[in-house]
Each structure stands twice: as C-alpha cells, then as structure tokens.
Homo-oligomer: A and B are copies of this chain.
Amino acid sequence: MKKYTDLQDIDNIEALVNEAIQLKKNPYQFLDLGKNKTLVMLFFNASLRTRLSTEKAARNLGMQVIVMNVNAAWELEFEEGTIMNLTASEHVKEAAQVISQYADCIAIRAFASLTDKEKDLQEMVLSSFQKYASVPIVNMESATAHPLQALADAITLKEFSGKKKPKVVLSWAPHPKALPHAVANSFVQMMQLLEVDLCISHPKGYELSDAVVKNTTVIYDQEEALRDADFVYVKNWSSFQSYGQVLSQDPTWMMTQEKLGTAKFMHCLPVRRNVVVEDAVLDGPNSLVIAQANNRTYAAQIVLKNLLENQ
C-alpha cells in the first residue's frame, strides 16, 4: 500500500481484514515500526471518532502525531495559475510539499461541499495534496469516500458474521440536514469487494452515483429489501442527482426494532436517535455501532502499518 485514499488502494481485502483482527489482539506489538515517524493529521472539518481512533492507531504503532485543525486563518488555493490577491494566502503546491517534509504520512479530512458537484467529484483537496505531497496520503473522509470507515465496517462484518455469504442491506434513513455520500459510497464499494449479498434501499431520487452502485441491486421498497437481512447498515445521504438536496425526511424510513428483526444493526455514528433509528435498536443486543467505532482504531492502524512498511 502506497497511499489510502480509496478502496482501490487495497490489494487483498481478505488478508487486510484478517491482519487487522490479529492486530486487535495485541495492538502494541509494532511499537518500533513508527519510531521517529510522524503522522500529520489535517482536519478541514471537525471530527471525533476519526480524530481519536486514527491518533490512537498511530500512537499504537509508536508514531508521533501532530493534529492541525485547518480553519479560516489558513485558506488554501487549489487552482493552477491564479493571481492570489483574494483570501487564500497559500497554494496547496507549497503546503503539500512543505508538510511532506515534516511528516511521514499526511491524513486529511475534507468533506463534500454538497453545493459544487463537479468540485466534489474531483476531490479537489485530497487529490491536490496527493499530487504535490511526497509522503503517503490517508483519507479521513473526503468528498466522495470514507475508506477508513469502510474498512472498520468490513472488520466488524467479519467478526460478527456466521455465514459464508451474509445478506447485507444498506438502508437510507431520514435526517434533518443534507449529508454527504462518502460513507454510503465506500460502504457499497467495500461490500462489492466481499463475499456478501448486497442490496441498497432508498426512496426514489436518492440513487447513489452509478459509478459506485454498478450492478448492485437497488430496491425502493424498504420492507422487501430488509427481508432475511443478516446485516442492516443504516445511513442518511442527500440526493446525488439533485445534488445536495434533502428531497424527503419521510419518517417511515427510520429503522425500528420491528423492521430490523434478528438482523445486526450497523451505523458509522454519529447517529440521531429516533430520527435515523429508534432507541430500541441502538440500546438492543443487535446493535454493532460501538464495536464498529472500536474497529476504526484497527482499520487505521493496519493502514498505517502497511504504509510504514512500504516506505
């Protein structure tokens, strides 16, 4: 692994998941690997789980960690050839080259704008850093992908799955705010790499990008989609076609214990209780959300370990 910006950076997902599960049993066995190595984490957006789990993962490997919360005081220019006489005081060309000299790995969080579809699809921030940096880039959730979350999801699925080919349903849920597609995209792409029977369910108008969905089954009737599910991953996203719009907040799409039945419940967190999913599910025995969050550490750690080993 030379970078971890999307799931295509994974050579062998089975092996990676197994390696992560082994690592989890003894997280401190590679403390020497990160000696005198520095992870710089750049947050263009706020973070709880990603911040804590990735920092912990790096420290579990003996790395130094420097966290930068990027804000209005440090505005970057991303376009080529601009006359920089407005608000941006530094070009990403310099920023990426400079930080590369202080870091052995740069992890970046930069959400979708949800207003400029083309820019979001270009992954302006992430791809610019990747273009100019001389050290590996890790995606801590970009405009279109959240591959660390998807890896944690794969680890969790492996830990809790008894079947050879479980049925996995990604079910859209209502939410008061317009949310990005990154988690849903990466979850779908990850499931496409695994031996699972995947289907996606959402109201009409909430179709994810064709480039992501490919030939995955989409069922607009949630009840039909959930039938015989082993794992139900619930997540809100805004419309992709009517880009960034909230087309529906239909509460009948909220996940309930009755709908879930005996399936395992997954969500990336944070989750709005009694809007996305009812209390009974989250507080019940079939919720995997806390285990998923725990696996964020080992997903990040196995990625960083791979990057360190390939430097």
CB-contact partner of A48 in B95, B294, B297, under 8 A: B95
A160 to chain B, nearest CB (A): 16
Select from chain B the residue with minimum beta-carbon distance to A269.
B94
CB-contact partner of A274 in B84, B89, B90, under 8 A: B84
Select from chain B the residue with minimum beta-carbon distance to A88.
B272
Select from chain B the residue with minimum beta-carbon distance to A290.
B97
A159 to chain B, nearest CB (A): 14
Report the Cα distance A139→B95, complex, angstroms. 23
Residues of B near A130 (CB, < 8 A) are none
The reply to whether the CB of A81 lies closer than 8 angstroms to some CB of chain B is yes
Task: Give the number of times this chain occurs in the complex, counting copies.
Answer: 3
A260-275 Cβ-contact flags toward B at 8 Å (1 or 0):
0000000001111111
The reply to whether the CB of A77 lies closer than 8 angstroms to some CB of chain B is yes
Judge whether B66 and A52 touch: CB under 8 Å.
Answer: yes
Instruction: Mark the stretch among A53-61, A116-124, A195-203, A224-232 that contacts chain B.
Output: A53-61
Instruction: Mark the stretch among A2-10, A98-106, A183-191 that contacts chain B.
Output: A98-106
> Of residues 5 to 51 in A, which have CB atoms within 8 Å of B's CB atoms?
27-28, 31, 36, 38, 40, 46, 48-49, 51
The reply to whether the CB of A289 lies closer than 8 angstroms to some CB of chain B is yes
Select from chain B the residue with minimum beta-carbon distance to A91.
B273
A165 to chain B, nearest CB (A): 29
CB-contact partner of A98 in B27, B59, B64, B269, under 8 A: B269
What is the number of residues of chain A that contact chain B, defined by CB distance less than 8 Å? 58
Residues of B near A94 (CB, < 8 A) are 269-271, 282, 289-290, 293
Given A38-B59, A48-B95, A271-B94, do A293 and B101 touch, yes or no (CB 8 Å)?
A: yes
Residues of B near A205 (CB, < 8 A) are none
Judge whether B98 and A290 touch: CB under 8 Å.
Answer: yes
Residues of B near A102 (CB, < 8 A) are 52-53, 56, 297
Judge whether A52 and B68 touch: CB under 8 Å.
Answer: yes
The reply to whether the CB of A74 lies closer than 8 angstroms to some CB of chain B is yes
Judge whether B275 and A84 touch: CB under 8 Å.
Answer: yes
Residues of B near A82 (CB, < 8 A) are 273-274
Residues of B near A211 (CB, < 8 A) are none
Q: What are 21 A-B pairs with beta-carbon distances under 8 A?
A: A28-B36, A38-B59, A46-B73, A48-B95, A51-B68, A52-B66, A52-B99, A55-B66, A56-B64, A59-B64, A81-B274, A81-B279, A82-B274, A83-B273, A83-B274, A84-B273, A90-B269, A90-B271, A93-B282, A94-B293, A98-B293
Q: Which 10 A/B pairs are nearest by Cβ-Cβ distance?
A: A90-B270, A46-B73, A84-B272, A101-B294, A98-B293, A52-B102, A83-B274, A85-B176, A97-B290, A89-B270
| A-B contact sample (7 more), CB < 8 A, given A28-B36, A85-B272, A102-B297 | A40-B52, A46-B71, A56-B66, A77-B273, A85-B176, A89-B272, A94-B282
